[in-house]
Chain A
Amino acid sequence: MIDPAVSAGLRDAIARARRPALIAGLAGMIACAAGYFLAPAAFFPSYLFACMFCLGLALGCQAVLMLNHVTGGAWGIPIRRSLEAGTRTLPVVAALFLPLLPGLRSLYEWARPEDVAHDAILRHKQLYLNTGFFLARTVICFAAWMAFAFFLNRWSREQDERPTRGLSRRLQLLSSAGLVVYGLTITFFSIDWVMSLEPHWYSTMYGVLFIAGQALSGFAFVIALTVVLARYPPLSGFINRKHFHDLGKLMLAFVMFWAYVSFSQYLIIWAGNLPEEIPWYLRRLQGGWGWFGMALILFHFVLPFLLLLPATANRNPRILSSVALLVVFMRFVDVFWLVRPAATPGHFTLRWMDVAAPVGILGIWLFVFLGQLLRRPILPVNDPEFAAALEHGADGAH
């Protein structure tokens, strides 16, 4: 029988990783604070993109967790606790968004009445894009996500304490409602915080791009983490190549889905070539930004696709974790490419805030995440699927 608790070796390793994360986080935040006062126009866009990436990690974990609860499947057992730890960081992510609130005027054209007055389309959108309603929507979104995270974690803990049959069913129902709510909230959240940076542009695919991207961020991050956790008990006595194979195949599916929706949006807008739509891509393909687009094709799709296609690579944890880390990094690049060109359209410049903000935010986030990971047993032994997951590694079936 496996003791699911965090082993002493793992506890030390996590504690060792937490300290540099905290130091980097604090240093980055101090730099951010300097930027906030000295160069607010540069601070806000960089800080926003770092926040959006960080939100993607936390919400991606939650989306994948709920997907696993809804569809069932033994693939979720080894990563369940990491996903749950990701969802428990949501209050911190919400707090990290707070410094953006004074910057709404600086970030968004629609928040400046003098600009809105001269623009017929912005006047039309004022019913939706106004500061009060914007803030209300943000609060509603975070409240909904945290409410689902709360119950997902609470019922999971109840299951740890004593196995109850009805709990899995309850988690399944909660998660199906949660996925519907997530789909709607993230759509409007991404329209609000990112799409409206360029308030004349619109695309119906936009929310789906964020759903695909966030799920991939959270999932790839957790896969890379799981390869590290697998070196220590209790996961080392549980996980094997077949579990990795399942995770790798699913990551391949997510990568393909992201590429599919990204390419579809591009093709449709390119073919239409309408003045309302195409500028968004022109701003992202000119003056150095085009390299990012090229990098996204090659390293967000082609390379992971080719690496994850053969079964041998999926079963090799080293290759799998390298691909997962590459995907996490490319998610970071993608969010940068979605958010930052709005501030310097058509010409790429790297500002020091583009480095400081992500270091600060991700350092803090990682520190909190690892702390949360230590708080619960690493394996959900009372889950009805646990036996199947354990057996999945043992039997000869493929």
Chain B
Amino acid sequence: MSTQKREPTPPGQATPVPVIEPGHTFASVTDQIGQIVLSRRTPTFWWVGFGISFLLMMALLASIGYLLLKGTGIWGINIPVGWGFAIINFVWWIGIGHAGTLISAILLLLRQEWRTSINRFAEAMTLFAVASAGLFPILHMGRPWLAYWLLPYPNTMALWPQWRSPLVWDVFAVSTYATVSALFWYIGLIPDLATLRDRARKKSFQIVYGMLALGWRGSAVHWHRYETAYLLLAGLATPLVISVHTVVSFDFTIAITPGWHSTIFPPYFVAGAIYAGFAMVLTLSIPLRKLYRLEGFITLRHLQNMAKILLATGLIVGYGYMIEAFMGWYSGVPSEGYVTTSRMLGPYRPAYWALIFCNILTPQALWFKKVRSTPGLLFIVAMVVNVGMWLERFVIVVTSLHRDFLPSSWGMYHGTMWDWSTFIGTIGLFLSLLFLFIRFLPMISIFEMRTLVPEAEVREEA
């Protein structure tokens, strides 16, 4: 099994690349994925990667500590730009999370079986991204220990959330989304946890995996209940994934700030979220499949399909930019027109044009099959899109705020060192969690991969 061949994909060949490398059997699938977790030796690259991520996470800890000591004044925010990195990073991380749910829920409902080998770690990515995202609004409150005031509960202060504020909707949208994503991920893990429990040699592993597997024996009744629960959760997660970024877009559009109050925002934000998310899945899966030699499971077919989704969602995002710029002019409203020209020609124009380069121009390379089927090139495109989607949020948040209706309240905004260290720190948090995940849990769904093996096709042999 360890002799991995690169699969042949001569351009122009009509037969599609398989979703699992030929030659795999039930046993080989279980062995190869299971041994990543159960083998005693932790590879060196894991220690290096985890070490760096852990250090970055410590930077986050230091930044938060200093923030709690000093208050949000250590960030670059001030009037007129009262929303800075915190909201940018929040939207960026939440968006990244969306691909996980899309892959696991929507592609499941659409019966796209190629999703199987990437759904597990994409879902894990969702959870860790939502965790990173959730930090920002709470830290931005200034007194994060009072975060529970956001919840409507009876209290003696006569305090009640403002239900017309989309920020309150956010609390519910994001927390529901996080809950359902966690449940979906955990339920999907149960049969695999049982496999690990049965195969683990060490007592401690047997006990931990055994407890996590919730007594799974793989009986027909178990499987029946499991399938029903999984399908129901997929049905629940699908509207949630749309609702979360829609509500995030309402954070902007419900306000009447020029450049934010735009009706296209809900679908355009959702498309942008999926776009960012698939870019991140590609960013992570391309090195992972190489390092753990998983090319037989995460095949070129997966990369190609993800590249196509990246291209399609990128075009929708481009449509959003186009129609916004057009309506900025067409509306004839001076402030709308001003925001549009200010983005393109004002002090933040480098960010705007870098964003156009990253999000609109670069992904056009994906029209070419050569790019879609070369992991190295795909990785570069995905990285560029990651940067581009961060810039997009920067441009939306900062350029709309920095020049108010009155020129007397104009001002510039730049992230401070603490802004950057918090942001990079959450990348450390995200990657640390991800490294722990791939070390201790099967990053590819073992039992679902087994259904792709030719042995699972019973119909022909009967």
Interface residues of A (CB under 8 A from B): 120-121, 124-125, 128, 165, 169, 180, 183-184, 187, 191, 200, 202-208, 260-261, 264-265, 267-269, 271-272, 274, 276, 395
Which stretch (B90-98, B118-126, B215-223, B250-258) binds chain A?
A: B250-258
Task: Report whether A267 and B250 are in contact in the complex, using a CB–CB cutoff of 8 Å.
Answer: yes
Q: Please name all residues of chain B whose beta carbon is closer than 8 Å to the beta carbon of A206 when the two chains form the complex.
A: 263
A203 to B333, CA, bound (A): 12
A272 to B257, CA, bound (A): 9
A208 to B262, CA, bound (A): 13
Q: Please name all residues of chain A whose beta carbon is closer than 8 Å to the beta carbon of B324 when the two chains form the complex.
A: 204
Task: Report whether B267 and A261 are in contact in the complex, using a CB–CB cutoff of 8 Å.
Answer: yes
Q: Please name all residues of chain B whose beta carbon is closer than 8 Å to the beta carbon of A183 when the two chains form the complex.
A: 315, 319
Task: Say yes or no for B459: interface residue by CB 8 A criterion.
Answer: yes
Q: Please name all residues of chain A whose beta carbon is closer than 8 Å to the beta carbon of B456 when the two chains form the complex.
A: none
Task: Report whether A264 and B266 are in contact in the complex, using a CB–CB cutoff of 8 Å.
Answer: yes
Task: Report whether A274 and B256 are in contact in the complex, using a CB–CB cutoff of 8 Å.
Answer: yes
Interface members, chain B 319-337 (any A CB < 8 Å): 319-320, 322-324, 327, 330-333
A395 to B315, CA, bound (A): 37
24 A-B pairs with CB atoms under 8 Å apart are A120-B332, A124-B332, A125-B332, A184-B319, A187-B319, A187-B323, A191-B330, A200-B332, A202-B327, A203-B327, A204-B327, A205-B263, A205-B264, A206-B263, A208-B267, A260-B242, A264-B267, A265-B263, A267-B254, A268-B262, A268-B263, A268-B266, A272-B253, A395-B459
Task: Say yes or no for B406: interface residue by CB 8 A criterion.
Answer: no
Task: Say yes or no for B293: interface residue by CB 8 A criterion.
Answer: no
Task: Report whether A272 and B323 are in contact in the complex, using a CB–CB cutoff of 8 Å.
Answer: no
Q: Mark B234-276, 1 if CB is under 8 A from A, else 0.
A: 0000000010001000100110100001111111000000000
A260 to B324, CA, bound (A): 19
Known: A165-B14, A187-B323. A202 touches B331 (CB 8 A): yes
Among residues of A, the one whose C-beta sits closest to the C-beta of B319 is: A183
Interface members, chain B 298-333 (any A CB < 8 Å): 315, 319-320, 322-324, 327, 330-333
Interface members, chain B 1-31 (any A CB < 8 Å): 14
B412–chain A nearest beta-carbon distance, Å? 27
Task: Report whether A276 and B267 are in contact in the complex, using a CB–CB cutoff of 8 Å.
Answer: no
A271 to B264, CA, bound (A): 15
B234–chain A nearest beta-carbon distance, Å? 13
Q: Please name all residues of chain B whose beta carbon is closer than 8 Å to the beta carbon of A202 when the two chains form the complex.
A: 327, 330-331
Q: Please name all residues of chain A whose beta carbon is closer than 8 Å to the beta carbon of B319 when the two chains form the complex.
A: 183-184, 187
Among residues of A, the one whose C-beta sits closest to the C-beta of B249 is: A264
A49 to B331, CA, bound (A): 24
A271 to B263, CA, bound (A): 11
Among residues of A, the one whose C-beta sits closest to the C-beta of B320 is: A204
A265 to B263, CA, bound (A): 5
Task: Sort chain B's interface into a size bin.
Answer: 20 to 34
Q: Please name all residues of chain B whose beta carbon is closer than 8 Å to the beta carbon of A264 when the two chains form the complex.
A: 246, 263, 265-267
Q: Please name all residues of chain B whose beta carbon is closer than 8 Å to the beta carbon of A187 when the two chains form the complex.
A: 319, 323
Q: Please name all residues of chain A whose beta carbon is closer than 8 Å to the beta carbon of B246 when the two chains form the complex.
A: 260, 264
Q: Please name all residues of chain B whose beta carbon is closer than 8 Å to the beta carbon of A203 when the two chains form the complex.
A: 263, 327
Q: Please name all residues of chain B whose beta carbon is closer than 8 Å to the beta carbon of A128 when the two chains form the complex.
A: 330
A120 to B164, CA, bound (A): 35
Among residues of B, the one whose C-beta sits closest to the C-beta of A195 is: B330
Partner of A260 from the list B262, B266, B323, B333 (CB cut-off 8 Å) is B266
Q: Please name all residues of chain A whose beta carbon is closer than 8 Å to the beta carbon of B267 when the two chains form the complex.
A: 205, 208, 260-261, 264
A159 to B293, CA, bound (A): 41
B329–chain A nearest beta-carbon distance, Å? 8
B310–chain A nearest beta-carbon distance, Å? 14
Known: A272-B254, A272-B256, A395-B459. A208 touches B330 (CB 8 A): no
A309 to B164, CA, bound (A): 30
A261 to B269, CA, bound (A): 12
Task: Report whether B261 and A268 are in contact in the complex, using a CB–CB cutoff of 8 Å.
Answer: yes
Task: Report whether B261 and A276 are in contact in the complex, using a CB–CB cutoff of 8 Å.
Answer: no
Partner of B265 from the list A165, A268, A269 (CB cut-off 8 Å) is A268
A123–chain B nearest beta-carbon distance, Å? 9
Task: Report whether B265 and A276 are in contact in the complex, using a CB–CB cutoff of 8 Å.
Answer: no
Q: Which 5 A-B pairs have the closest CB atoms?
A: A204-B264, A205-B263, A121-B332, A264-B266, A265-B263
Task: Report whether A268 and B330 are in contact in the complex, using a CB–CB cutoff of 8 Å.
Answer: no
Q: Which of B164, B322, B324 has the most CB of A within 10 A?
A: B322
A314 to B264, CA, bound (A): 31
Other 10 A-B pairs with CB < 8 A, given A268-B263, A268-B266, A272-B254: A121-B332, A180-B315, A202-B330, A204-B262, A204-B320, A204-B324, A207-B323, A208-B264, A264-B267, A276-B331
Task: Report whether B323 and A204 are in contact in the complex, using a CB–CB cutoff of 8 Å.
Answer: yes
A391–chain B nearest beta-carbon distance, Å? 10
A164 to B324, CA, bound (A): 43
Q: Mark B342-362, 1 if CB is under 8 A from A, else 0.
A: 000000000000000000000
A335 to B322, CA, bound (A): 25
Among residues of B, the one whose C-beta sits closest to the C-beta of A124 is: B332
B240–chain A nearest beta-carbon distance, Å? 13
A187–chain B nearest beta-carbon distance, Å? 7
A207 to B330, CA, bound (A): 14
Known: A204-B323, A271-B254. A276 touches B333 (CB 8 A): yes
A5–chain B nearest beta-carbon distance, Å? 28
Q: Please name all residues of chain B whose beta carbon is closer than 8 Å to the beta carbon of A267 when the two chains form the complex.
A: 250, 254
Q: Please name all residues of chain B whose beta carbon is closer than 8 Å to the beta carbon of A208 when the two chains form the complex.
A: 264, 267
A271 to B322, CA, bound (A): 24
Among residues of A, the one whose C-beta sits closest to the C-beta of B315 is: A180
Among residues of A, the one whose C-beta sits closest to the C-beta of B254 is: A271
Among residues of A, the one whose C-beta sits closest to the C-beta of B109 is: A249
Known: A121-B332, A183-B319. A268 touches B242 (CB 8 A): no
Q: Please name all residues of chain A whose beta carbon is closer than 8 Å to the beta carbon of B332 when the two chains form the complex.
A: 120-121, 124-125, 200
B363–chain A nearest beta-carbon distance, Å? 13
